[in-house]
Copies of this chain bind each other. A is one copy, B any other.
Amino acid sequence: MHSFTDLAKSFEDRFSASLPFPDAPGTLYDPCRYFMALGGKRIRPVLCLMANQLFDEISNDAWHAAMGIELLHNYTLIHDDIMDKAPLRRGQPTLHDKYGLTAGILCGDVMCIYAYSELGKITKAMPQVIQLFSKTAIEICEGQQLDMDFERRSNVSIDEYIHMITLKTSVLLACSLKMGAMVSGAFGDNANKLYAFGKNMGIAFQLQDDYLDAFGDTDKLGKQNGGDIKANKKTYLLIKALENADTAQRRSIEELLHGGTDTKVQEMLSLYTQTGADIQCREAVAHYSTLAFNCLDEVAIPSKRKEPLFELADYLLMRDK
């Protein structure tokens, strides 16, 4: 069984050596190459490969599926960056910031189509793969739309928030795993358990991200705390704090949201703690992590073969920290 590190390296080598973009027009494909070279952990394609090797040697179909998944993921990042007006991605200028709006739209578009073009090379279970991939991509668009909608609403509930991050983030992890299974011929319980594992892991990961942005160890994260607080981003912590707050606490939170003093981050963190939102966020991470690991336990494959997936989930969900 190949480890995450091995597979991530193999994928990176293969991916960067065989990007599907031609040279011309350079105004279209140079920005695409720029963006792909920004890197990333390639977690989604590796999940696909890992799920595939549960059942057999990693097949060519799985490589095509993995490529398609990574292209789709990067396409959504490019368009999200436009909508979020984000200047930086992985410490470098975002595609639209460097090359303009037209390139931002068109490069995303063409990358989505290249993703499907990769899936068009799959020899096994293509209809099922296309349907799952399309369903997932639609959900990602819906999740992004909900995220945008929530920015303008003050009454988002925890359930709505979990639904949004499920669509925006988790279903692609789930889909990656299930596609890896499907192209090996696995469609039943095992494929569905892998999907549920990925979905719950994705939710846990996003909630953990919310927590770490506020309370994480800045040395480990390599960035300052409180980015979400400064940006008034609706996170699990903020929604839960508003839900739990008494009248005075609620007024304080709303003043911080509208005002923004030098001590905004400190004061908000203090309110998260006072309202118990911090503890509940950690509990929610633990809850979804447990669901995820239970699903992986239930996949009817010898434990030995599942070790790389457990390791990756441990790493993502920092169970050892």
Contact = CB atoms under 8 A, between A and B. Distances in A.
Interface in A5-28: 25, 27-28
Given A112-B112, A112-B113, A117-B131, A106 B144 contact: yes
A142 interface: yes
A120 B121 CA distance: 14
A27 B149 contact: yes
**Ordered nearest first, which 7 A-B pairs have the shortest CB separation?**
A120-B130, A117-B134, A28-B145, A110-B141, A113-B137, A120-B131, A83-B102
A148 B31 CA distance: 15
A34 B30 CA distance: 35
A158 interface: no
A109 interface: yes
A168 to B, nearest CB: 12
Given A83-B102, A109-B79, A126-B126, A117 B138 contact: yes
B109 A141 contact: yes
Interface residues of A, number: 36
Interface string A110-126: 10111011011100001
6 contacts: A28-B141, A102-B148, A113-B137, A117-B138, A120-B134, A130-B130
B28 A142 contact: yes
A105 interface: yes
B83 A141 contact: no
A105 B119 contact: no
Indicate how many identical chains form the complex.
2
Contacts of A148: 27, 102, 106
A149 B83 contact: no
A36 interface: no
Interface string A57-75: 0000000000000000000
A135 interface: yes
Interface string A140-167: 0110111011000000000000000000
Given A108-B109, A110-B142, 8 more contacts: A25-B149, A79-B109, A82-B101, A106-B144, A106-B145, A109-B112, A117-B131, A121-B131
Contact of A83 (B101, B116, B121): B101
B146 A25 contact: yes
A127 to B, nearest CB: 6
Contacts of A25: 142, 145-146, 149
B130 A127 contact: no
Contact of A138 (B82, B110, B138, B149): B110
Most buried by B among A135, A142, A145: A145
